[in-house]
A and B are shown apart, each in its own frame.
Chain A
Amino acid sequence: MFGAGGGTSSYREVEETDVIFLWGANARENHPIFFHHVLKAIHRGARMFAMDPRRTASAQWADQWLGLNVGSDIALANAMAREIIHAGLANRTFIQRATTGFDEYAACVERYTLEVGERETGVPADVIRDAAHAYARADRAVICWTLGITEHHNAVDNVLSLINLALLTGHVGKYGSGVNPLRGQNNVQGGGDMGAIPNRLVGFQDWTKDTEVRARFEQAWGVKLKPQYGLNMTQMFNAAERGELHAIYAIGENPAQAEADQHRTEHLLTGLDHLVVQDIFLTATARLAHVVFPASSSWCEAEGTVTNSERRVQRVRKALEPPGNARDDLWIISELARRLGHDWGHPSAEEVWNEVRSMAPIFAGMSYERLEREGGLHWPCFHENHPGELFLHSRLWNDPIVGPSAPFSVVEHDPPVERPDAEYPFTLTTGRRLDSYNTGVQTGGFTSPLRRGESLDISPEDAERLGVLDGDPVRVTSRRGSVVAPARLDRSLRTGLVFMTLHFQDEVRVNQLTIDETDPKSGTAEFKACAVRVEPVSVSEPATTSAHGAVGHGG
């Protein structure tokens, strides 16, 4: 946040905070370990508010569920902001000292009255007001979000609207207050940390804007760096479509099933000149590849580090030799480099890590020995005697602040690209369940008593109107494709809203339905909202996926 690519708070602070906003995050099911920290807070007496179109398992724990319309997050956040400002609950001192752009922001949210908020989000005005007051009046408050915020065509704006709330109330940069994207895996944070994103180098350093950074890397690596960002995944596929991108090297990623609008993705992947996949399983993408590198499993067959959602870098140790011809990722990459004419030798994980420390100041103080001894360290950790920082941006509370001010962002409500209409009357939102992970690559290999397989979750009222009973197969059709799945009656859904997962892509290719409308700033597709039609299927029709040939992608 504010230039640092990580959540601001530590888990301990979440346990000791007073108000938690779980916004677009069904952490009970999708971040079960993190949710234990939330539960500790709840048992301590913290109040939790869940913003989610579905009354999820997380929302059932909430003091108040705010079941906003899919994609109306900014309307909700802005309505809260206006209420906070008008109730005199904004933290004027903090705003004046540590932020910029408040006047423009206040002018922007002015039209988001509680009534407008209710109209756009569906959430009753008094509930919006109460949540806003609870957040603003709390001594400590955190906002946590996940894909319910980011899997929209305006993902970055959604995030900014939440950060605005934190700036408005001063709930950032101090113990127990912060803004936190929850990470879906043990090392999603670590991927960003290491620069596996197109617009930052290791340690979130922007070589296009900071000449010192650029010079440092160019000197260390002995190459000239191109002065522009790389492509994110969405941009890559667009470039492939335009014929500008010819080869992909996919490491631990399964775009053939994970991307929205699957027909198109498959088409583009098969059209590449060269596709290399490095993975621990022969994924659907790997099956399309020209070359497959069987890799080691990073949590037990390799040395290294991971970074969790609280920015704590931790050691991972090798316990087993990888099976068969599988190789450590590091070995594969070094070997590939050597064969491509750049002999880097075969550095150990620690040697690579020490290079990271020398190039990225935020990791400089984290020797393997310290990580071992101290059970991991929070970044930033600038030198060997730096304890690491429990929470980020304490500088904003210095008077005067140290470093740049935190800017408010003017963001406006912009509903999902595809809205229900007469032909496609339902909003389909997708997500995940406790027992499975993403496209099932890592979880499909074992059974779980909780696993039910894919279903179309639908409100009992809609099911009744369609004449569908629990378990009956239904056909779900969007402008891009069509699948058949059993219906599951779910009281947590209101009428007009249906839900599916993406866990069982081999059986039910839900991402044939989703819309490839991506956020230009983050490259994330709007998995959380598309319009579909639901029809009962006669029992004799097999419950499998069928392509919707008549309609091309993009609708």
Chain B
Amino acid sequence: MDLHLLDAAPTAEEREAVDALLGEPRSGWEGGVRDESRDAFTAAGGQEVRALRHLLLPALLAVQARVGWVSEGALNYVCQRLSVPPADAYGVATFYALLSTVPRPARMLHVCDDIACRCKGAEELCAELERTVGPAYHAPQGEHVDLDEVPSGWLRSPCLGLCEQAPAAMVTVAGPKPVERLFGHADLAGLSRVLKGDLAPSLEPRTRLWQAGDPMLRLLRRVDVTDPTSLDDYRAHGGYEALRLALSIGPEGVIREVSDAKLMGRGGAAFPTGRKWEAVARQPVRPHFLICNADESEPGTFKDRVIMEGDPFSLVEAMTIAAFATGCEQGYIYIRGEYPLAAERLQNAIDVARARGLLGRNIMGVGLRFDLEIRRGGGAYICGEETAVFNSIEGLRGEPRNKPPFPVNVGVFGKPTLINNVETLVNVLEILLIGGPAYAAIGTAGSSGPRLFCLSGCVTRPGVYEVPFGTTLRQMLSLAGGVAGGRPLQGILLGGAAGVFVRADEIDMPLTFEGTRAAQATLGSGVIMVFDDTIDLVPILLRIAAFFRDESCGQCVPCRVGTVRQEEALHRIHAGRTRGDMSGELALLDEIGLAMKDASICGLGQTAYSAVESAIKRLRLFDRSVR
């Protein structure tokens, strides 16, 4: 390839981090020691090396974890190893927020200032940090930075997926034994200690599942009940019964049960799962790939994290069943980079399952072949879009692809791919255990089965709740103990940042696909974020707008430009400096929103105006100003 490698050389640590992943370089051409008698006359490369492109992101993440940032030398070395042009790899490295191509201190604190945490004082916390510790870290441009002088720094972060323990933060410590820890209930004292190197405050215990042990639970029945690291405990609580049943009824049988269950995808798009499985199973092209989309990044969403942390084996089992049904031999769990504990528990579950013959070449002794690999994201919301997941796994920038072709035909590595969300997959266990028709009887006619909801913001008991479809918003609120402090409800953000605000008088809305559709709302990823009367929603809207502007991948114009224009208009409104009168600004927002909805190639741009629009039109947020 036309590599145009740089002159920069890696440090010993950087080399070590990359070699730990890729093995020792085979020649001087790959950055190893030049053997004049051989390297002067031959070099290997081509298909074999280019096939390793999918290791680009893992290699960059390895350097980041080891050194704290990706220097030119490290980038160049990775490129030399993988036969990727540095300009190309730079495009990938700069795509992900958790990767830094400028010097960054080894110990970094990522403080969530997104909407749920904002309800719990995240903005004030950041202000206090600025006052006491100093401003958020910013690498000096073009100057030499001596990182020994700067041991730590902090950054604002978009939603970390720990909304029930808001305000949330994540600490990363680069080094030979890197530390990554997500923690909640952050306060100034704790954060200051972490910044100074005392990581004890990041070890605060997690909030337990409020419904833990409730016999009604189907998806969460083992969370906070079993030991998430123990396969035996998992099996003692019904684990791997579903796989045994699946093997007995065969792949067509499994797909029939899933279809009969009328299971709909829980990632947000609500596509019938059985149809997707059948389409992949039918594809004559081989191999088929299975991907679990665990890039749970929709602000306010944390249900998948709770499953992966609390019951990781269930996901491994569910994926094995999906692979069996659709003819996949290789699966990936694409998990967001901000979920270190979930990744660790899943890795343990995979390792244990493999050691016990529940993954690998001969699963359960029946000759079933399937293996699983975890791929961690690098901090990019867009990588939750299914085709962006493919690009990210393949080592490209995580930009969504045009559809068609659809993933069932041309997915990751150009092969037929089944991609499902964590919650969707875990439902399959229940379907097999009770049978498709019995499952279909749960919930409503149009929305079958149990559903997980993420309650956050101003509620008494924030957390994940499992209920049958059809439960109303009002019931959900009371399940979580109502609005915190008994304050009046101002509105609820339903479905996440890409969802819609609903009014206090709409809370009898049944939470079903059809019910929310009728109310021109959406369940999205199951977010129920509650705002009481004390919350100023305009800064919340600004944060949402900033989020989309930041997370837009930039490849299509309506979204790249639209998200910027939307944020600018909201800033003008917020600052009371509207161009012309307010109605003009609102008309402009509407026009931008329409353009994004109609012309963006993926869901990000298509829904970037959704929350803002509902705040304007349902909550009448700016009506006072209009008057």
- Give the top 8 A-B pairs by smallest Cβ distance, nearest first: A63-B46, A494-B40, A122-B41, A65-B43, A67-B41, A127-B42, A123-B41, A62-B46
Number of interface residues of A (CB under 8 A): 24
Bound-complex Cα distance A60 to B1 (A) = 5
Interchain Cβ contacts under 8 Å between A and B, 20 examples: A28-B2, A42-B47, A47-B46, A55-B29, A57-B2, A59-B43, A60-B83, A61-B1, A61-B46, A62-B45, A63-B44, A63-B46, A65-B42, A65-B43, A66-B42, A67-B40, A67-B43, A124-B38, A124-B41, A494-B41
B3 contacts A by Cβ under 8 Å: yes
> What residues on B are CB-neighbors of A208 within 8 Å?
none
> What residues on B are CB-neighbors of A45 within 8 Å?
47
> What residues on A are CB-neighbors of B42 within 8 Å?
64-67, 123-124, 127
A147 contacts B by Cβ under 8 Å: no
> What residues on A are CB-neighbors of B43 within 8 Å?
55, 59, 62, 64-65, 67
A433 CB, nearest partner CB in chain B, Å: 13
- Which listed residue, A60, A64, A68, A124, touches B2 by the CB 8 Å rule? A60
| Minimum CB distance partner of A49 in chain B | B46
Would A66 and B41 count as touching, CB distance under 8 A?
yes
| Minimum CB distance partner of B83 in chain A | A60
A29 CB, nearest partner CB in chain B, Å: 10
Q: Which chain A residues (196-225) contact chain B, with CB distance < 8 Å?
A: none
Would A63 and B38 count as touching, CB distance under 8 A?
no
- Which listed residue, B2, B3, B41, B47, touches A63 by the CB 8 Å rule? B47
> What residues on A are CB-neighbors of B505 within 8 Å?
none
| Minimum CB distance partner of B43 in chain A | A65
Would B44 and A64 count as touching, CB distance under 8 A?
yes
- List 4 additional contacts besides A64-B45, A123-B42; criterion CB under 8 Å: A57-B2, A61-B45, A63-B46, A124-B42
A386 CB, nearest partner CB in chain B, Å: 37
Bound-complex Cα distance A495 to B44 (A) = 20
Q: Which chain B residues (30-67) contact chain A, with CB distance < 8 Å?
A: 36, 38, 40-48
Would B40 and A63 count as touching, CB distance under 8 A?
no
Bound-complex Cα distance A63 to B43 (A) = 8
> What residues on B are CB-neighbors of A122 within 8 Å?
40-41
> What residues on B are CB-neighbors of A55 within 8 Å?
29, 43
A277 contacts B by Cβ under 8 Å: no
| Minimum CB distance partner of A68 in chain B | B41
> What residues on A are CB-neighbors of B3 within 8 Å?
60
Would B41 and A47 count as touching, CB distance under 8 A?
no
Residue picked from B1, B2, B41, most chain A C-beta under 10 Å: B41
Bound-complex Cα distance A64 to B44 (A) = 4
Q: B7-34 interface mask toward A, CB cutoff 8 Å, 1 = contact, 0 = none?
A: 0000000000000000000000100000
Would B41 and A495 count as touching, CB distance under 8 A?
no
- Which listed residue, B36, B38, B45, B48, touches A60 by the CB 8 Å rule? B45
Residue picked from A42, A45, A60, A66, most chain B C-beta under 10 Å: A60
Bound-complex Cα distance A495 to B34 (A) = 13
The interface of chain A, by Cβ under 8 A from chain B, is 28, 42, 45, 47-48, 55, 57, 59-68, 121-124, 127, 494-495
- Which listed residue, A59, A61, A62, A495, touches B40 by the CB 8 Å rule? A495
Bound-complex Cα distance A495 to B2 (A) = 22
> What residues on A are CB-neighbors of B29 within 8 Å?
55
| Minimum CB distance partner of B48 in chain A | A63
| Minimum CB distance partner of A126 in chain B | B42
A485 CB, nearest partner CB in chain B, Å: 22
Bound-complex Cα distance A95 to B38 (A) = 35
The interface of chain B, by Cβ under 8 A from chain A, is 1-3, 29, 36, 38, 40-48, 83
A457 CB, nearest partner CB in chain B, Å: 15
> What residues on B are CB-neighbors of A121 within 8 Å?
41
- Which listed residue, B2, B36, B45, B48, touches A65 by the CB 8 Å rule? B45
| Minimum CB distance partner of A493 in chain B | B40
Bound-complex Cα distance A64 to B29 (A) = 12
> What residues on A are CB-neighbors of B36 within 8 Å?
494-495
Q: Given known contacts A123-B41, A124-B38, is B47 in contact with A47 (CB within 8 Å)?
A: yes
B44 CB, nearest partner CB in chain A, Å: 6
A497 CB, nearest partner CB in chain B, Å: 9
A506 CB, nearest partner CB in chain B, Å: 29
| Minimum CB distance partner of B44 in chain A | A64
A168 CB, nearest partner CB in chain B, Å: 23
> What residues on A are CB-neighbors of B1 within 8 Å?
60-61
B336 CB, nearest partner CB in chain A, Å: 31
B35 CB, nearest partner CB in chain A, Å: 10
> What residues on B are CB-neighbors of A28 within 8 Å?
2
- Which listed residue, A48, A66, A127, A495, touches B46 by the CB 8 Å rule? A48
Bound-complex Cα distance A67 to B27 (A) = 14
Bound-complex Cα distance A342 to B40 (A) = 60
| Minimum CB distance partner of A57 in chain B | B2
> What residues on A are CB-neighbors of B38 within 8 Å?
124
Bound-complex Cα distance A62 to B83 (A) = 11
B46 CB, nearest partner CB in chain A, Å: 3
> What residues on B are CB-neighbors of A124 within 8 Å?
38, 41-42
| Minimum CB distance partner of A64 in chain B | B44
- Which listed residue, A57, A63, A66, A67, touches B45 by the CB 8 Å rule? A63
> What residues on B are CB-neighbors of A48 within 8 Å?
46
B131 CB, nearest partner CB in chain A, Å: 51
| Minimum CB distance partner of B39 in chain A | A494
Bound-complex Cα distance A495 to B42 (A) = 14
B85 CB, nearest partner CB in chain A, Å: 10
> What residues on A are CB-neighbors of B2 within 8 Å?
28, 57, 60
Bound-complex Cα distance A57 to B3 (A) = 8
| Minimum CB distance partner of B51 in chain A | A45
> What residues on B are CB-neighbors of A68 within 8 Å?
41
B34 CB, nearest partner CB in chain A, Å: 9
Bound-complex Cα distance A62 to B43 (A) = 9
> What residues on A are CB-neighbors of B46 within 8 Å?
42, 47-48, 61-64
Bound-complex Cα distance A385 to B47 (A) = 42
> What residues on A are CB-neighbors of B41 within 8 Å?
66-68, 121-124, 127, 494
Bound-complex Cα distance A68 to B40 (A) = 9
Bound-complex Cα distance A46 to B473 (A) = 58
Bound-complex Cα distance A447 to B45 (A) = 34
Bound-complex Cα distance A57 to B45 (A) = 13
> What residues on A are CB-neighbors of B40 within 8 Å?
67, 122, 494-495
Bound-complex Cα distance A277 to B169 (A) = 79
Residue picked from A55, A66, A121, A494, most chain B C-beta under 10 Å: A55
Bound-complex Cα distance A122 to B42 (A) = 9
> What residues on B are CB-neighbors of A127 within 8 Å?
41-42
Bound-complex Cα distance A45 to B36 (A) = 30
A20 CB, nearest partner CB in chain B, Å: 11
Bound-complex Cα distance A122 to B83 (A) = 24
Residue picked from B3, B40, B44, most chain A C-beta under 10 Å: B40
Bound-complex Cα distance A123 to B41 (A) = 5
B89 CB, nearest partner CB in chain A, Å: 15
| Minimum CB distance partner of A65 in chain B | B43
A363 CB, nearest partner CB in chain B, Å: 39
Bound-complex Cα distance A68 to B36 (A) = 14
Bound-complex Cα distance A57 to B1 (A) = 7
Bound-complex Cα distance A74 to B43 (A) = 21
A114 CB, nearest partner CB in chain B, Å: 13
B401 CB, nearest partner CB in chain A, Å: 17
A486 CB, nearest partner CB in chain B, Å: 18
| Minimum CB distance partner of A53 in chain B | B41
> What residues on A are CB-neighbors of B83 within 8 Å?
60
> What residues on B are CB-neighbors of A47 within 8 Å?
46-47
> What residues on A are CB-neighbors of B44 within 8 Å?
63-65
B118 CB, nearest partner CB in chain A, Å: 47
Bound-complex Cα distance A122 to B39 (A) = 10
A46 CB, nearest partner CB in chain B, Å: 8
> What residues on B are CB-neighbors of A67 within 8 Å?
40-43
A357 CB, nearest partner CB in chain B, Å: 43
Residue picked from B42, B45, B46, most chain A C-beta under 10 Å: B42
> What residues on B are CB-neighbors of A61 within 8 Å?
1, 45-46
Bound-complex Cα distance A92 to B5 (A) = 46
